[in-house]
Amino acid sequence: MNNIASMPASPPAEAARLPARHYLNEAHTLRSWFLTTDHKRIALLFLASITVFFLIAGVAALLMRLELLTPEGDLVQAETYNRLFTLHGVLMVWFFLIPSIPTVLGNFAIPMMLGARDLAFPRLNLISWYLFVGGGTLTLYSLIKGGVDTGWTFYTPYSTLYSNSAVLSTVAGVFVSGFSSILTGLNFIVTIHTLRARGLTWFRLPLFIWSMYATSLILVLATPVLAITLLLLAMERFFGFGFFDPRLGGDPLLFQHLFWFYSHPAVYIMILPGMGVVSELVAAFSRRRVFGYKVVAFSSLAIAVYGFLVWGHHMFVAGQSPYAGLVFSALSYLVAIPSAIKVFNWTATLYKGDISLDTPMLYALGFIGLFTIGGLTGLFLAALGLDVHLTDTYFVVAHFHFIMVGGMVMGYLGGIHYWWPKISGRLYTEWMGRFSAITAFVGFNLTFLPQFLAGYLGMPRRYWAYAPEYQVLNVMSTLGASILGVAYAFPLIYLTWSFWKGQVAGPNPWEATGLEWRTPSPPPTHNFETPPRVTGEAYERSHAARGEA
Amino acid sequence: MRPAAKPEAPGLGRSETGAAGQFADLEHERSASLLGMWTFLATEVLFFGGMFTGYIVYRTFYAEAFREAGGHLDLFWGGVNTAVLLVSSAAVAMAVRAAGQGRGKSTAGWFFSAAALGAVFIAIKAHEYTRDYREHLMPLRDLPFRFPGPHADQARLFFNLYFVMTGVHALHLLIGMGLVLVLAALSWRGRFSGGRDAPVEAVGLYWHFVDAVWVFLYPLFYLMGR
């Protein structure tokens, strides 16, 4: 077997038709989906489930924005509003953002990018989906029971002693889905260590793999802390154990420490995968190697490591020692360094690149712009003095939505559009994709830029009514959210349509590098007819051209 | 043909080497299984770490109360349990060794002994819990909590931590017992012969981890302040 044969090329003749057998038409029974161990099918199971959660959480957001159209609390009651933002937060964080890129794009692409047949533990991967759905069902059950009003942070002692809402079942749902996260992260780590193709050394890995590796480290090391924290919370609420009960001398602040020890790294679970996708997109659509490959790779690990050391910046005004605050503030600034490295290196990659503005690239450029704003406003909040003024205002809301929606959701949609031809074997209508990407960018900015102003002027978050002088900004925000809603609904329609009716894509419609593009679209169940062998660096185009010849 | 040749059969078949389809051979599969278990144990360290952090915080805040409360635990039975668990780990180590040598029946025997010792541990723990309940040291829901001296509330925190940490530990031990019993049955039937003993080694690691957690719990609760 010679080298060229072991690098499945893409004969142009195949471009017109789908391959005769691929992972989608391998079997059509329900059993072949719900008991599948194929990472590609499990990715689609995750795609369907997180889309459902995204829609429910999106409706909650829309109701909140409608309520905030007027200063008076008129559409819903204050109690309902509390439940709406909790629902929105819990579902978006744990059932959409955290699983989004890892479980869908990571599951689908990682084994193929490594030249592997599957993840290291395929059955564990399926268990991970069942845990996720189980946790999600428990959380939705709490919604039926009347919802939760604690906010997604479940702060004690409110959540343990006072709240009359369905705290236990929600916490149980998040707890269970946490094990899904852990198993996914574990699977990725082992896969990346052990299933790389011949010749695929660590520094030849696509940057998406590096960022997924960093994400997996956080998933594996931070999630168990959330699990134990929620377990202690549930014990306190159910059995009356008083870990965080001040009446016994328990310390509610300890809960916040434990919670943010997970939840701050979790913020990086929600952005690192997006960064990985953007690295792929920028390389593919400017037809260049990512500038400073190694630095970008290590910046992902740096973000993962720093992420564990900055949780205290969520507690500047919670009563922690000012000296601790000082240290946490300084460490938080450090996160800006690897983040900025990424932004600068993407920009440097674009420089003199052969750029094509296809849909995924538009999302990627949107990501870079919005993430930059989100990151820079993070520095405002890391400043001890300024944070006192900005804590619990809409400034914070705008900041983290820039990172999570402007960053992660843009990255997710960019990745979905990028790998969609590989997933479905078909192309979506390009203008529809571009229209959605641009609409999302416009709608997003209109929604959240005004919130920076409202927050800076002092509008507090989590209230269903507000002082009349903020109305103009809130109307803009609600208008933007409506546009954003359209921008998110549209891909759902045309992607679904293209899944069955789209034009056949061929193995590599973007002329991208990477092993996943050297196998038919959709790929066969075992991904590669012959195990691929890597002889060149990541994103090396001359090499890719040789492979195609 | 390279040694990494994969089987042609679809689905998650096993190659002629006996390894799962995504692996080149059994050695490859073993390295993945063990890395997986070590990674899982890292999550376990963080899981228990949350509780240990809570313990450290409250023990620092309320050193006096924790010392007094620790005196109410049964040093004798706690010590016996520590010995039981350490011996069980030795049995598991023997099981792993026997599996590596392909002696399936011997593996099963050692695993069964380990499970039996685990059961002894749980029985002793249950006895201790019962005693705590009788002495009103179990702060569960509406049960009365009676603790002599001025530090009753803080002592209650101590017992909260004690029950949750030893309880979660006992739960891990029960899971471990289930695992080794399953492995005992499988190895009796010769499932792990011929270099296919990676699961035995992985479960062995888990068992030793659970044992090691107890090695920390025992001094923190029973020996502290004596």
How many angstroms from the chain centroid is the CA of residue A282? Answer: 18
* In a domain? residue A24: no
* In a domain? residue A6: no
In percent, how much of chain A has pLDDT > 90? 88
Q: Please give the pLDDT value at position B148.
A: 86
The Cα–Cα gap between B148 and B134 comes to 15
Instruction: State the 10-residue block means of pLDDT for chain A, 549 residues long.
Output: 41 65 92 94 97 97 96 93 96 97 97 96 97 97 92 93 92 97 97 96 97 97 96 92 87 94 95 97 95 96 95 92 94 95 96 95 97 96 94 96 95 97 96 97 97 96 95 97 96 96 93 93 92 91 51
Specify the 3-state DSSP secondary structure of A14: helix
Q: Are residues A153 and A188 in contact, defined by beta-carbon separation less than 8 angstroms?
A: no
**A468-471 long-range CB contacts below 8 Å, 24 or more apart?**
A468/A71, A470/A71, A471/A70, A471/A71
Q: Are residues A422 and A390 in contact, defined by beta-carbon separation less than 8 angstroms?
A: no
Per residue in A478-507, pLDDT (tens digit) is: 999 999 999 999 999 999 999 999 999 999
Is the pLDDT score of B2 beyond 80?
A: no
State the CATH number of the domain containing residue A151: 1.20.210.10
Q: Are residues A307 and A268 in contact, defined by beta-carbon separation less than 8 angstroms?
A: yes
- The two three-digit tokens of residue B130, written as one number: 């019962």
Q: Are residues A222 and A266 in contact, defined by beta-carbon separation less than 8 angstroms?
A: yes
Task: Domains for chain B: give ranges and CATH numbers.
Answer: 26-139+149-223 (1.20.120.80)
Q: Please give the pLDDT value at position A544.
A: 47
- For residue A205, the distance in angstroms to the closest alpha carbon of chain B comes to 19
Give the nearest partner residue to B156 out of A225, A248, A526, using CB atoms.
A248
Q: Are residues A117 and A111 in contact, defined by beta-carbon separation less than 8 angstroms?
A: yes
> Average pLDDT of B76-87?
96
Q: Which of residues 38-67 of B touch A (CB under 8 A)?
A: 39-40, 42-44, 46-51, 53-54, 57-58, 61-62
Residue B97 to residues A296, B38, B88: CA-CA distances in angstroms? Answer: 44, 19, 14
> Average pLDDT of B47-68?
94
B145 touches chain A (CB under 8 A): no
The Cα–Cα gap between B220 and B206 comes to 22
Q: Do B42 and A182 touch (CB under 8 A)?
A: no
- Find chain A residues with C-beta within 8 A of B20's C-beta: 122
* CA triple B61-B62-B67, angle to 5 deg: 140
* In a domain? residue A401: yes
Percentage helix, strand, coil, to 5, in chain B?
75, 0, 25
Q: Are residues A307 and A262 in contact, defined by beta-carbon separation less than 8 angstroms?
A: no
Of the listed ranges A137-141, A293-297, B37-41, B154-158, the least confidently predicted one is B154-158
Q: Which of residues 188-227 of A touch B (CB under 8 A)?
A: 189-190, 193-195, 198, 220-225, 227
B158 touches chain A (CB under 8 A): no
Q: Are residues A414 and A360 in contact, defined by beta-carbon separation less than 8 angstroms?
A: yes
- For residue A518, the distance in angstroms to the closest alpha carbon of chain B comes to 18
- The two three-digit tokens of residue A296, written as one number: 């970008």
Q: Are residues B2 and A1 in contact, defined by beta-carbon separation less than 8 angstroms?
A: yes
If one counts every other C-beta atom within 10 angstroms of the C-beta of residue B123, the result is 12
Give the nearest partner residue to B47 out of A227, A525, A531, using CB atoms.
A227
Helices (H) and strands (E) in chain A, counts: 19, 2
* In a domain? residue A141: yes
* In a domain? residue A485: yes
The type of residue at A11 is P
- Find chain A residues with C-beta within 8 A of B48's C-beta: 228
The Cα–Cα gap between A137 and A63 comes to 22
> Is the omega angle on the peptide bond into residue A507 within 30 degrees of 0, that is, cis?
no
Give the nearest partner residue to B160 out of A189, A243, A261, using CB atoms.
A243
Q: Please give the pLDDT value at position B225.
A: 73
Q: Do B35 and A258 touch (CB under 8 A)?
A: no
- For residue A191, the distance in angstroms to the closest alpha carbon of chain B comes to 8
The Cα–Cα gap between B204 and B84 comes to 16
Residue B215 to residues A34, A56, A112, B89, B226: CA-CA distances in angstroms? Answer: 42, 47, 43, 12, 17
Q: What is the mean pLDDT of chain B?
A: 90
- Find chain B residues with C-beta within 8 A of A526's C-beta: 6, 10, 21
Q: What are phi and psi of A529, to 5 degrees?
A: -65, -45
Q: Which of B12, B161, B172 is best to mutate for the A interface (most A CBs within 10 A)?
A: B12
* In a domain? residue A16: no
Chain A / chain B CB contacts < 8 angstroms: 133
Q: Do A190 and B35 touch (CB under 8 A)?
A: yes
Parent domain of A490: 34-244+254-548
Residue tagged 């809402």 (tokens): A165
Q: Which of residues 87-106 of B touch A (CB under 8 A)?
A: none
The Cα–Cα gap between A512 and A505 comes to 13
- The two three-digit tokens of residue B155, written as one number: 């002592």
The Cα–Cα gap between A186 and A184 comes to 5
Q: Please give the pLDDT value at position A293.
A: 96
B3 touches chain A (CB under 8 A): no
Q: Please give the pLDDT value at position A542.
A: 65
The Cα–Cα gap between A272 and A339 comes to 10
Angle between helices B104-134 and B75-100 (to 10 degrees): 160
- The two three-digit tokens of residue B25, written as one number: 């051979």
Q: Are residues A339 and A304 in contact, defined by beta-carbon separation less than 8 angstroms?
A: no
Q: Which of residues 37-76 of A touch B (CB under 8 A)?
A: 37
Rounded to a whole number, what is the largest CA-CA distance in chain B?
78
Q: Are residues A101 and A214 in contact, defined by beta-carbon separation less than 8 angstroms?
A: no
Per residue in A69-85, pLDDT (tens digit) is: 999 999 999 999 999 99
pLDDT class of B13 with cuts at 50, 70, 90: low
pLDDT class of B142 with cuts at 50, 70, 90: confident
* In a domain? residue A400: yes
- State how many domains chain A has: 1
The Cα–Cα gap between B205 and A405 comes to 41
* In a domain? residue A4: no
- The two three-digit tokens of residue A447, written as one number: 């929604």
Q: Do B168 and A231 touch (CB under 8 A)?
A: yes
Q: In chain B, which residue's Cα lies nearest the Cα of A1?
A: B1
| A238 membership: H or E segment, kind and range | helix A207-239
The Cα–Cα gap between A42 and A119 comes to 11
A519 touches chain B (CB under 8 A): no
